[in-house]
């Protein structure tokens, strides 16, 4: 049961009114079931088409024809890949995951209609109900930034706050259907990189992920882990043996652009104490902090360590 049909009368209704109401309710319910089935078929077709684009499993001509049949012309359009992903998918049994997937897809489809976008939206991954893939077809007169802002705003109106509840991530704008896969993959990578960002934004582009985004994508690479250990290992071991926080001090010093006064304030130290500890850090690591190349290497290692520990992307990252 999903609703109730009510007839308001100014006097006692005749007996046949109840029969009419029951038949009307049955008719409406049947219409809802038919509409739901039609919607499900269209939704499956859109998801299948997006899957074909991502996996190059269909010729471009066939993709274009199928998209036109779904009411979204892709030829001679500027194409923009977008991924809408929940920040906190949450565990749950299969029924709950399916419900979350339908809820998110419903919200995205509603948002696409509300902001007047010509787009294919579907469930390409479909594993945890956390993600919806969208391919937006823009005319030359339409702005990609305005389209993304409109989508984010419409999602917020639908009850999913863009930047807080969901991440709206976009790839590059491409002018050929052959390149649509690249834009969709870029959008997924941006969504990966911004999954733990501390700065909510209406939407994220490739430029927003920067260094931390790149390191986040490489966080499971053993070569990056080895690099962090090679750069910071001696200082990490020193802190562990002596119960000190020289790694945090080094990070504060580099983040503050080598401004000793601000670094000392950040660490609640006197200037003289800061100088002594910086000299100790140089001895332990065997580096010269006046070398711009060594400072850069250490800063990257500290950022990678923070990302691998779950720090994600902060607003101050550059």
CATH code of the domain covering residue 151: 3.30.70
Are residues 248 and 154 part of one domain? no
Q: How many residues does the chain have?
A: 318
pLDDT averaged over every residue in the chain: 86
Are residues 131 and 255 part of one domain? no
In a domain, 151, yes or no: yes
Helices and strands, counts by H and E, the chain:
11, 4
Highest mean pLDDT of the ranges 3-7, 28-32, 193-197, 246-250? 246-250
Task: Name the nearest CA neighbour of 24 among 41, 36, 7.
Answer: 7
Are residues 230 and 130 part of one domain? no
In a domain, 313, yes or no: no
Give the end of a domain, one of 139, 170, 204.
204
CA distance 135 to 180: 8
Are residues 75 and 140 part of one domain? yes
In a domain, 318, yes or no: no
pLDDT at 192: 81
Around Cβ 247, how many Cβ atoms within 10 Å? 18
Give the end of a domain, one of 147, 170, 204.
204
Give 126's pLDDT tier (boundaries 50, 70, 90).
very low
In a domain, 22, yes or no: no
In a domain, 4, yes or no: no
Contact residues for 52 (Cβ-Cβ < 8 A; gap 6+): 58, 62, 63, 66
Tens digits of residue pLDDT in 274-295: 999 999 999 999 999 999 999 9
* Domain containing residue 226: 222-308
pLDDT at 196: 59
In a domain, 20, yes or no: no
Mean pLDDT of 138-163: 92
CA distance 276 to 242: 16
Strands laid side by side in the 78-86 sheet: 119-122, 131-138, 78-86, 166-174
In a domain, 92, yes or no: yes
CA distance 216 to 242: 30
The number of C-alpha atoms within 13 Å of 294 and in the hemisphere containing its C-beta is: 11
Are residues 151 and 57 part of one domain? yes
Reported pTM: 0.66
Are residues 146 and 182 part of one domain? yes
Are residues 256 and 107 part of one domain? no
Give 125's pLDDT tier (boundaries 50, 70, 90).
low
CA distance 148 to 164: 16
Are residues 161 and 228 part of one domain? no
Are residues 236 and 173 part of one domain? no
Q: How many structural domains compose the chain?
A: 2
Distances (CA, A) of 304 to 189, 216, 241, 297: 17, 8, 23, 11
pLDDT at 73: 94
CA distance 60 to 181: 11
Are residues 226 and 200 part of one domain? no
Are residues 251 and 154 part of one domain? no
pLDDT at 165: 86
The phi, psi pair for 172, rounded to 5°, reads: -80, 155
Helix or strand or coil: residue 107? helix
**Token representation of residue 6:** 């009510």
Helix or strand or coil: residue 86? strand
In a domain, 29, yes or no: no
Are residues 69 and 143 part of one domain? yes
CA distance 318 to 307: 14
The phi, psi pair for 80, rounded to 5°, reads: -130, 115
pLDDT at 296: 94
């Amino acid at each position: 049961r999903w609703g109730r049909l009510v007839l308001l009368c100014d006097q006692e209704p005749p007996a046949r009114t109840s029969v009419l109401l029951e038949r009307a309710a049955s008719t409406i319910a049947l219409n809802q079931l038919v509409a739901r089935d039609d919607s499900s078929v269209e939704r499956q077709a859109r998801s299948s088409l997006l899957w074909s684009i991502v996996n190059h499993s269909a010729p471009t001509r066939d993709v274009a024809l199928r998209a036109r049949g779904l009411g979204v012309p892709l030829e001679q359009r500027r194409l923009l890949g977008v991924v809408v992903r929940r920040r906190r998918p949450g565990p749950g049994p299969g029924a709950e995951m399916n419900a979350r997937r339908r809820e998110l897809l419903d919200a995205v489809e509603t948002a696409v209609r509300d902001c007047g976008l010509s787009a294919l939206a579907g469930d390409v991954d479909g594993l945890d109900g956390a993600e919806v893939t969208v391919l937006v077809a823009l005319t030359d007169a339409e702005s990609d930034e305005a389209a993304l802002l409109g989508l984010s705003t419409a999602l917020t109106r639908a009850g999913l706050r863009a930047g807080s509840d969901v991440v709206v991530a976009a790839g590059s704008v491409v002018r050929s259907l052959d390149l649509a896969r690249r834009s969709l993959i870029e959008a997924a990578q941006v969504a990966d990189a911004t999954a733990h960002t501390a700065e909510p934004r209406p939407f994220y582009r490739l430029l927003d992920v920067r260094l931390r985004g790149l390191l986040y994508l490489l966080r499971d690479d053993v070569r990056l882990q080895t690099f962090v250990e090679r750069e910071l290992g001696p200082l990490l071991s020193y802190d562990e043996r002596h119960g000190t926080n020289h790694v945090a001090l080094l990070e504060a010093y580099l983040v503050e652009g080598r401004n000793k006064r601000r670094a000392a304030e950040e660490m609640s130290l006197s200037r003289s104490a800061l100088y002594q500890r910086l000299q100790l850090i140089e001895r332990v690591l065997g580096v010269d902090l006046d070398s711009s190349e060594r400072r850069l290497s250490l800063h990257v290692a500290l950022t990678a360590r923070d990302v691998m520990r779950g720090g994600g992307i902060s607003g101050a990252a550059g």
